[in-house]
Each structure stands twice: as structure tokens, then as C-alpha cells.
Amino acid sequence: MSRLNVVVLYGGKSTEHEVSVHSAQTVCHMLQNKPEKYQIYPVFIDKQGLWFLQKECGFKTPQDVAVTPVLRADANMAALDGSLAFKADVFFPVLHGTNCEDGTMQGLLETLGAAYVGCGVLASAMGMDKEIAKLLAAQAGIEVLPYVTVSRGEAYDKAALEDWVKEAELPVFVKPVRLGSSVGVRKVKNLNELHDAVAFALQFDTDVMIEKGVDRAREIFCALYGEGEHVKSSLCGELRTVAGEFFDYNAKYVVAGGCETKVPADISEDAQICMRADAETIFRALHASGLARVDFLMDKDGRYYFSEINTLPGMSETSLFPQLFEASGEDYGQILDGLIALAQDVLARKNALALNR
């Protein structure tokens, strides 16, 4: 059996650029450990949107690159600066955030007729939009917290928003609707902080969600991979904030020891079963495929609420996705193999569809 040419895409025009690079380093390393199966082509997308073929995954500058890639739509080929061409059997996007996991990159790969790992255009877009994901979860019978949204360019009634917050009760969380890694998120404990938090979040997205907070919330996570009826969910894990008041970007990526991971989470077996089932329900409701991580918030009484779904979660060795499955007895390398095989199966099914009546 010949080796597959796997193009690992990472970096990107995103506030989560650095997170993506860390994820890609792990994915590239694990796939390169199987030279009999894969030929890896790491493609770095810089913050200006330029694409570079790398000799290895990592933080790079244009001086470090081998050649500049230009993707051609014909024959699913990647033509590299006229000096090299190869058939890209599978694209593996290890990208997070805007322009990366929100359906835009997936749309590009669709137009190339390419096999690619992860959710399709619609599932990616819906998963990235916290409001749409919550609407789908609620329709599937899973509890979500009360929220309202405001949009950039549209004047909102500040008094009405303050009244809603008073009724919901402080604290509330103000967050961009279509971002991850807690970028732009603020916890509002005083009404005087509300409008500054909204203005701050609107720097990162055109739409902002104001969501009721949970008293002494526990953040519980469940990872998934597969498709349709063949979805596997992991044991649930928990992240506890050590630095800061909630699991923000600094706690995740900046402050050493800013959070603690507990895998599996210290919750009852019944709660584990229910949360895993609900995570799978949400995955299917979005018609997701490939991989995801579903996040819940649990209150002091053990009641939990769907928070969000990440259709391209962090994939470094210290990220939750591999940790959750390793705690569940799954081999991370085999999961990556399965994701690549699933990408090829999805493309084969699309190619079998009739184009004419």
C-alpha cells in the first residue's frame, strides 16, 4: 500500500494562531512516526494569510520556508511555486478560530474537491457560532443558559440590557459569538463593567453574547470522534482555574500552572453517562464529522448546561482532546489514523453522488 500525502495546515489569520502551531507540532510528530503510512507536508499559514510549505512544523518566518505553495483546483493538486507538484491525498486542518474552523477553510477545501479531516462547511460554521449551537442543543432537549446578543453597527438599548442583566442576576459573561480559546471574554460582576465588556468583545467579533453566569461553575468537557451512529465519546474531564476567576486565555495559555486538569472528572457515574450521551446528541444535531470537544457548565447542585462545541479542538499533547481519550483507553495515534481514513470515506461518498438528473 502506497503512502498517503497528508498536508497539515496550521497557523492562520486568527487570534488563536499560536494555539494552532502547538497543536500542529504534535499532530505532525505523531504522523511522521508512521513513515510507512504517511508523507507529511506541513503548510504554515502566517498572520497575513500567506501559505508556506515548511521543512517541519513550528513557529516559522518566511526566511525559514522551503517554497511558497499555491493551491490549484484542478486534479486536487498542490502546486508549489512551480518547482514541485504532488497529489494531496488528505488535508489535515489543525487550525483554530476565525478563518480556520468556521467553515471558510472547509469551503476552500470543498472547492478543491479535497479529502479533509473534520467537520464540513455547515457543521463547522454552526459549531463556531455559539448562538446557533445553543439553539440546536436546546431543540435537542439539552439545557442552555439564558442569554441575549448585541451586534456591532447596531445601537443597542443599554437600559434594556441592564434590566435583562438585573433579572438574570450577576455575574454574567460577555463573549464574542464566533471565537474560541476565551479570546475577548470578560466576567461582569458589577453593572458598571457591562458596557465596557461589550465594547471589548466587539473588537473581536461583530456579534457578542451576554450569558447568565453559573454560581461556582465547574467546567466539564467531553471529546468525540467519528460520524453518525459511529461516534465515540470520551470520559468527561474537568478544568479548574488556579489563576484568575474563570478559564480565560491567560489561564489556558499564558500563566504557568494557570489551570489544573482533572481527567476523568470527579463526578458521578450517572452524570458521566448523561453528559456523554448529550455530547453525542449535540455532535449529531450539528451533523458533525471527525472530531470535536463539547463543553458543559455544572452548578453546585450538579445541574449542567451546554456551553459550546469546538469542532477543531486543541490537539497538542497537553490539550484536552488527547488527554480525554487517553484516559478512556484510546490510543491517540490510532484516532489520528481513523480521522484520516474517515476524511477519505466522506470524500468517496460525495464523489459517488450524481451530478446530473
Mean pLDDT of 53-81: 54
Estimate to the nearest angstrom the gap between the alpha carbon of 306 and the chain centroid.
15
Q: Which pLDDT tens digit goes with each residue over 12-45?
A: 888 888 889 999 999 999 999 999 999 999 999 8
* Predicted pLDDT at 18: 87
* Predicted pLDDT at 192: 95
* Predicted pLDDT at 302: 93
Mean per-residue pLDDT of the chain: 87
Residue 63 CA to residue 46 CA, distance in Å, equals 12
Cell numbers that stand for 276 in this block: 456523554
Cell numbers that stand for 268 in this block: 458521578
Mean pLDDT of 167-183: 87
Mean pLDDT of 67-87: 50
Q: Which pLDDT tens digit goes with each residue over 119-162?
A: 999 999 999 999 999 999 999 999 999 999 999 988 899 999 99
Q: Which pLDDT tens digit goes with each residue over 194-237?
A: 999 999 999 989 999 999 999 778 999 999 999 999 999 999 99
The two beta strands, 4-11 and 38-45, are parallel
Question: CATH 3.30.470.20 occupies which residues in the chain?
Answer: 126-143+216-347
What class is the 147-212 domain? Answer: alpha beta
Mean pLDDT of 340-353: 95
Name the CATH code of domain 126-143+216-347 (choices 3.40.605.10, 3.30.470.20, 3.40.50.620, 3.40.50.720).
Answer: 3.30.470.20
pLDDT at residue 73 tops 70: no
* Predicted pLDDT at 79: 47
Q: Which of 54-68, 96-110, 176-190, 282-296 has the lowest mean pLDDT?
A: 54-68
Question: CATH 3.40.50.20 occupies which residues in the chain?
Answer: 4-116
* Predicted pLDDT at 77: 45
CATH 3.40.50.1580 holds for 4-116: no
Mean pLDDT of 240-247: 61
Q: Which of 63-67, 127-131, 347-351 has the lowest mean pLDDT?
A: 63-67
> SS3 string of the chain?
CCCEEEEEEEECCCCCHHHHHHHHHHHHHHHHCCCCCEEEEEEEECCCCCEEECCCCCCCCHHHCCECEEEECHHHEEEECCCEEEECCEEEEECCCCCCCCCHHHHHHHHCCCCECCCCHHHHHHHHCHHHHHHHHHHCCCCECCEEEEECCCCCCHHHHHHHHHHHCCCEEEEECCCCCCCCCEEECCHHHHHHHHHHHCCCCCEEEEEECCCCCEEEEEEEEEECCEEEECCCEEEEECCCCCCCHHHHHHCCCCEEEECCCCCCHHHHHHHHHHHHHHHHHCCCEEEEEEEEEECCCCCEEEEEEECCCCCCCCCHHHHHHHHCCCCHHHHHHHHHHHHHHHHHHHHCCCCCC
Mean pLDDT of 341-345: 97
pLDDT at residue 315 tops 60: yes
* Predicted pLDDT at 97: 85
pLDDT at residue 9 tops 90: yes
Residue 38 CA to residue 16 CA, distance in Å, equals 27
